[in-house]
Amino acid sequence: MSEDALIAEAIQARENAVATFSNFKVGSAISTPAGRIFRGCNVENSTLGLTVCAERVALLAALAAGERSFDRIAVITQSEQPSSPCGACRQLLWEFCDDIEVVIANLDGNVRRLRLAELLPEPFVFKAEEK
């Protein structure tokens, strides 16, 4: 899938965001090497601590569907500069996606491309044996 198409998926996902408290809507789309796309949006909660980021929603939807291999994730916000994933999202992405390409963009068409290793240079790494 092209980068533009993945960003378009993230923009569509952003429309479903529940940003009642911050009014900061985020959309994300993660792709697999086979071309499957999974969308996510941020969902805020009145405790704020239980708020879930768009990146995690997309990744968890893909994992719940049985996917285990990913090649790119796009994150879209309305901020002046593209916003990168938070620390918790970076760590979760590292654990399940390794050094995935991260495309961050805003609604004005500003796009940055990074590798996850640039965003999380010293990740916590623990790989338990699957049984």
CB atoms within 10 A of CB 9: 22
Q: Establish if 129 belongs to a structural domain.
A: no
Q: How confident is the model over 15-28, as pLDDT tens digits?
A: 999 999 999 999 99
- Does residue 130 lie in a domain region? no
Q: In the structure, what pLDDT confidence band is assigned to residue 127 with cuts at 50, 70 and 90?
A: low
Q: What CATH number has the domain bearing residue 20?
A: 3.40.140.10
3 is catalytic: no
Q: Which of 9, 55, 101, 122 is catalytic?
A: 55
Q: Is position 127 within any domain?
A: no
CB atoms within 10 A of CB 96: 17
**pLDDT, tens digit, 9 for 90 and up, residues 56-95:** 999 999 999 999 999 999 999 999 999 999 999 999 999 9
The number of folded domains in the chain is 1
49 part of a folded domain = yes
What does the mean pLDDT of the chain come to? 95
Residue 62 lies in a domain: yes
Ranges of beta strands (E only) in the chain are 26-31, 37-41, 72-77, 101-106, 111-115
Is residue 125 included in any domain, yes or no? no
13, 66, 85, 120, 121 from 116: Cα distances, Å: 21, 22, 10, 6, 8
The parent domain of residue 95 ranges over 3-119
pLDDT in tens, 40-57: 999 999 998 999 999 999
In a domain, 75, yes or no: yes
Q: Note the residue count of the chain.
A: 131
